[in-house]
């Protein structure tokens, strides 16, 4: 009896596709297909999408380590080889852009702090290893990100309007206490999607290339990029995904000291559209609760939305925007990563680190064919 992907994922550990009336299994980067043609075997000590388990290290200081379907997502890149040259837009809160932020923060709060975890719980050791934290020069966090691999971070394009100068911190679970896994990295290249619209937040996606590679360890490991068709038919039809971040613990409240995580149900697209007067483009999806007081909130923007499949976590979204936090009848809005998988791959390929000994190429603006 033939077995197809729609039935138990064709018994595949990860990706499943159908060819000539048969199932073909494949795996994410960093895995190889077992001889049985079904299982995915890791080829790396810290494979993508796996929770990290290791003996805790003693505390040590942070160190700076040097309405229509969208197109095929092969849109042009809009990178800045030096991310701190030139003017960026002033710090802006997505709620302000959407005319929704009518509540004034207390004087102790930073009015320009950015979006989106209300409710949820603290991430345990090794539970959210792909979380990245974008930090200002004073070490204050303002946005999140997702570790793609040792050199690249995925985040929201609107986060790049927040600060002219920033770094990326990984391995952080508590902003007031260090456990030795934290590392700070400088940003070498910023690639913001050139079709990002700062009014509608369409194409709210960006990739950061770090100057030095991330050393994977406890609390530091990448999430997996999925295959598009499989992700949309299998991952995004799961009941829920998981978001994480250091954002505000309630609307206009103070930001969280500890890294939080929250399970958020996928929301039917029509229900999502009916919940808001604002445009939900094909590059967005909704997740969250209709009335339960749990949501992403200010400070979480750019952070990961991942979906678990057979104990492997795949990147499915980027925390983008919402009308307040955990408001009744409102949902969190996320960038639909599956629409940009080719864009992400091309962004990384165009800015790939030059092998030692290879002639240097003068930096210049990049574009896709």
Among 204, 244, 300, 347, the active-site one is 204
Q: Which residue has the higher pLDDT, 221 or 58?
A: 221
Q: Is residue 145 part of a domain?
A: yes
Active-site residue flag, 250: no
**Confidence class of residue 241 from pLDDT cuts 50, 70 and 90?**
very high
Residue 42: Cβ-neighbour burial (10 angstroms; 0-12, 13-18, 19+): middle
Asked which of 254-268, 280-294, 328-342, 349-363 is least confident by mean pLDDT, the reply is 349-363
Q: Is residue 71 part of a domain?
A: no
How confident is the model at residue 23, as a pLDDT? 95
Q: What CATH code is carried by the domain that includes residue 238?
A: 2.40.10.10
The average pLDDT across 245-265 equals 69
Asked which of 115-124, 192-201, 315-324 is least confident by mean pLDDT, the reply is 115-124
- Burial 347-363, CB ≥16 within 10 A → b, else e: bbebbeeeeeeeeeeee
> What's the domain count of the chain?
2
Q: Is residue 191 part of a domain?
A: yes
Q: Is residue 337 part of a domain?
A: yes
How confident is the model at residue 71, as a pLDDT? 46
Q: What CATH code is carried by the domain that includes residue 36?
A: 2.10.25.10
How confident is the model at residue 291, as a pLDDT? 60
**Confidence class of residue 302 from pLDDT cuts 50, 70 and 90?**
very high
Active-site residue flag, 301: yes
Q: Do 27 and 173 reside in the same domain of the chain?
A: no
Question: How much is the pTM?
Answer: 0.79
Which of 15, 53, 78 is closest to 366 using CA atoms? Answer: 78
Active-site residue flag, 204: yes
Among 158, 185, 193, 305, the active-site one is 158
Q: Do 144 and 287 reside in the same domain of the chain?
A: yes
How confident is the model at residue 1, as a pLDDT? 45
Q: Do 14 and 137 reside in the same domain of the chain?
A: no
Q: Do 298 and 341 reside in the same domain of the chain?
A: yes
Q: Which residue has the higher pLDDT, 353 or 267?
A: 267
Q: Do 169 and 292 reside in the same domain of the chain?
A: yes
Q: Do 215 and 263 reside in the same domain of the chain?
A: yes
185-213 pLDDT, tens digit each: 999 999 999 999 999 999 999 999 999 99
Which of 158, 161, 151, 223 is closest to 189 using CA atoms? Answer: 151
How confident is the model at residue 65, as a pLDDT? 42
The boundaries of the domain holding residue 30 are 8-42
Q: Do 37 and 117 reside in the same domain of the chain?
A: no
Among 113, 244, 275, 301, the active-site one is 301
């Amino acid at each position: 009896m033939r077995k197809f992907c729609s039935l138990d994922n064709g018994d595949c550990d990860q990706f499943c596709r159908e060819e000539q009336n048969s199932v073909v299994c494949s795996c994410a980067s960093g895995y190889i297909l077992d001889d049985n043609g079904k299982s995915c075997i890791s080829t790396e000590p810290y494979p993508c999408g796996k929770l990290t388990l290791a003996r805790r290290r003693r505390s040590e200081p942070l160190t700076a380590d040097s309405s229509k379907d969208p197109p095929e997502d092969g849109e042009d890149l809009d990178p800045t080889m030096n991310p701190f040259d030139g003017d960026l837009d002033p710090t802006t809160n997505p709620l302000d852009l959407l005319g929704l932020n009518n509540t004034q923060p207390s004087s102790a709060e930073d009015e320009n702090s950015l979006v989106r975890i209300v409710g949820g719980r603290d991430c345990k050791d090794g539970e959210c290893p792909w979380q990245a934290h974008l930090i200002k020069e004073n070490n204050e966090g303002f946005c999140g990100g997702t570790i793609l691999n040792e050199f690249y971070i995925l985040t929201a394009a609107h986060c790049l309007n927040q600060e002219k100068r920033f770094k990326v911190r990984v391995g952080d679970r508590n902003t007031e206490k260090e456990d030795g896994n934290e590392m700070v990295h400088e940003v070498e290249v910023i690639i913001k999607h050139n079709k990002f619209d700062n009014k509608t937040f369409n194409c709210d996606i960006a990739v950061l290339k770090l100057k030095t590679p991330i050393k994977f360890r406890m609390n530091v490991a990448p999430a997996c990029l999925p295959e598009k068709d499989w992700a949309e038919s299998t991952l995004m039809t799961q009941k829920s995904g998981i978001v994480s971040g250091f954002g505000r613990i309630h609307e206009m409240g103070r930001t969280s000291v500890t890294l939080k995580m929250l399970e958020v149900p996928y929301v039917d697209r029509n229900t999502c559209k009916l919940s808001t007067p604002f445009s939900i483009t094909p590059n967005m999806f909704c997740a969250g609760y209709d009335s339960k007081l749990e949501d992403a909130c200010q400070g979480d923007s750019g952070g990961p939305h991942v979906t678990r499949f057979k104990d492997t976590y795949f990147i499915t979204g980027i925390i983008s925007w919402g009308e307040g936090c955990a408001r009744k009848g409102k949902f969190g809005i996320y960038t639909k990563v599956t629409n940009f998988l080719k864009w992400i791959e091309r962004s990384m390929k165009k800015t790939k680190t030059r092998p030692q000994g290879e002639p240097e190429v003068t930096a210049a603006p990049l574009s896709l064919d």
